[in-house]
Amino acid sequence: MKEIMFAGIGGQGVILSASILARAGILKGYYAAQSQSYGSESRGTATRAEVVLSEEFVDFPHVEHADIFVVMAEMGVKLFASKVSQEAIVLYDNSVFELSENIGKERIGIPATRLAVDTFKKPLYANIIMLGAMMRHCGMVGPEEIKTVLKETVPSKALADNIKALELGSGLEY
Amino acid sequence: MGEIKFLQGNEACALGAMRAGLRFFGGYPITPSSEIAEQCARLLPCSGGRFIQMEDEIASIASIIGASLAGSKSMTATSGPGFSLMQEALGYGIMAEIPFVVVNVMRGGPSTGHPTGPSQGDIMQARWGTHGDHPVIALYPESVPETYYEIIRAFNLAERFRQPVIFLMDEILGKMNESVEIKDDISVFEREKIQSRDGRYRPYAMKDDIPLTANYGEGLRFHVTGLFHDETGFPDVSGENIQKNMDRMYRKIENNIEELQKWEESGADNPEILLVSAGTQARSAKMACQELNSRGISAAVFRPVTVWPFPEKRLSALAARSKKVLVVEMNKGQLADECRKFISDEKLIPVNQLNSEMISPDEIIRQVEGVL
């Protein structure tokens, strides 16, 4: 079983990333539960999305001790650090903020927003770049499953850019 | 094995309702239930049904009462503020014995409260929200797969007992996504068709305390009222008739309690510590229970799936054998208050939290350790 938590600010697409990961997990034959918390305003407030992937039905559907924490805004670190395991891999967008907290076991900066702006001229795909980086560390789903889900999820004209963003994230050297 | 789908709780509610034979949805969207209306708006027109977005929740429940009287399996979905508005017509449905399903995806209240946060604050509103003495059927699943199958049961019970059924969910359940196995083998109860017969038609003539009222539009004319009425459907507010019908409406539920009630027990047999919890919160209690069991502590979880009528008899027997009973809920102790009717204050420990978060397994374990 793996617990993965995504955090950011409403509008950054963290719930979409979590949903894509969970659906990819289903394609692999895993049980998946995905939930989220968000503010009434929907955009601009702290957002958390959680995925539990497991061989079988899991009683508790929330993340209590994240194995992987993907965080795209500093606000997310402050609010949700208590749900991150001491053994966790923390992937954070270091083009948005510098991680000062000593959370998890390994902390990896992914300049997702800068890469998205440089490549696509807009920050829109930063969440998929982060998803690509996450995929490498999760080990439970591969690019094929995620691409299949992307085909079902994103508008066809945006598919090529989404796949490019995924590969950008998974192919980063660090 | 059936097909595995990845569904949101609200989506599973709508899909399950369709599977049960839903033909009419009248509603007014409200967070965190809106996807139920959204899905019904998409699915119903494609399958010969009707979806109407009404001007408010009062009109919404009135519309499903009308649709049900005309023979359509009907549903509305809302959250706390809308459920409050529906209470008067819910009472009408109970009094006139009209089958329909009202879904309440519970959020933080009172008033507008916290639209995007979970709560179990409407457990008692489901029981006593509408005025006057009345029997109530309310179900509350814990997971997305259970939502799919329990909403089918909700429709079956509504149609079988000619009674509105309240289907409780919570924000976590409505908004979360989870794997669901769609099984082929389900049973759906169809309302008996009442044919024209000789003499004056009596819409409230009873069979085993349940009225067999015809569908409007199929040839029989009759009167439906929220006043106490006799078998003809016309008002009769004599003391004798009121007493007789109140007794019968309660008997309709009490005599079929085994068919109506459903609960789940997990963990140790004859536990020292009994955790009582419903809905998504019970999943946290079960995880806490597993951890307690692994530490050698004798604990079990009792989860009512049918919340009303409350499974008092079984819980009472389990509680009698336990040292402590912790009632874990995201409210100020509504199920705990119900349990106080048959569990002593020395034994009963309410565990409550109102911060828009499910009470975590760790917190439940801490509470248990505190009473050992």
Which value does ipTM take for this structure?
Answer: 0.86
User: Looking at beta carbons, which residues of chain A come within 8 Å of B290?
Assistant: 59
pTM for the whole thing? 0.94
Quote the pLDDT of residue A42: 59
For residue A120, the distance in angstroms to the closest alpha carbon of chain B comes to: 30
pLDDT tens digits, A151-167: 999 999 999 999 999 99
For residue B292, the distance in angstroms to the closest alpha carbon of chain A comes to: 15
Quote the pLDDT of residue B148: 98
Quote the pLDDT of residue A38: 73
Domains in chain A: how many in total? 1
Quote the pLDDT of residue B195: 78
Contacts of A80-89 with CB under 8 Å at 24 or more apart are: A80/A5, A80/A7, A80/A48, A83/A5, A84/A5, A85/A3, A89/A137
Whether the CB-CB separation of A163 and A151 falls below 8 Å is answered with no
Contact between chains at A60 and B287 (C-beta distance less than 8 A):
yes
Asked if B206 reaches chain A (Cβ–Cβ under 8 Å), the answer is no
Quote the pLDDT of residue B174: 97
Quote the pLDDT of residue A174: 82
For residue B186, the distance in angstroms to the closest alpha carbon of chain A comes to: 21
Task: Give chain B's domains with CATH numbers.
Answer: 3-182 (3.40.50.970), 206-257 (no CATH), 263-371 (3.40.50.920)
Quote the pLDDT of residue A41: 63
Query: What CATH number is attached to the domain comprising A15?
Result: 3.40.920.10
Asked if A60 reaches chain B (Cβ–Cβ under 8 Å), the answer is yes
Asked if B255 reaches chain A (Cβ–Cβ under 8 Å), the answer is no
Contact between chains at B287 and A22 (C-beta distance less than 8 A):
no
pLDDT tens digits, B19-46: 999 999 999 999 999 999 999 999 999 9
Provide the residue range defining the domain that includes A140. Answer: 2-170
Quote the pLDDT of residue B197: 67
- CB count within 10 Å of CB B5 equals 17
Query: Please, what are the averages of pLDDT over each run of 10 residues along chain B (372 residues)?
Result: 93 98 98 98 97 98 98 98 98 98 97 94 98 98 98 98 98 96 96 79 94 93 97 97 98 97 97 98 98 98 98 97 98 98 98 95 97 92
User: Looking at beta carbons, which residues of chain A come within 8 Å of B362?
Assistant: 64
Asked if A23 reaches chain B (Cβ–Cβ under 8 Å), the answer is yes
Is the confidence at residue A39, as pLDDT, over 80?
A: no
Quote the pLDDT of residue B200: 83
pLDDT tens digits, A50-87: 999 999 999 999 999 999 999 999 999 999 999 999 99
Provide the pLDDT confidence category of residue A45 given band limits of 50, 70 and 90.
confident
For residue A37, the distance in angstroms to the closest alpha carbon of chain B comes to: 8
- Mean pLDDT score of chain B: 96
Contact between chains at A40 and B143 (C-beta distance less than 8 A):
no
Q: Please tell me which of the candidates A23, A34, A59 has its beta carbon nearest to residue B283.
A: A59
Quote the pLDDT of residue B341: 97
Contact between chains at B283 and A34 (C-beta distance less than 8 A):
no
**CA–CA distance from B68 to each of A143, B76, B277 (Å)?**
49, 12, 33
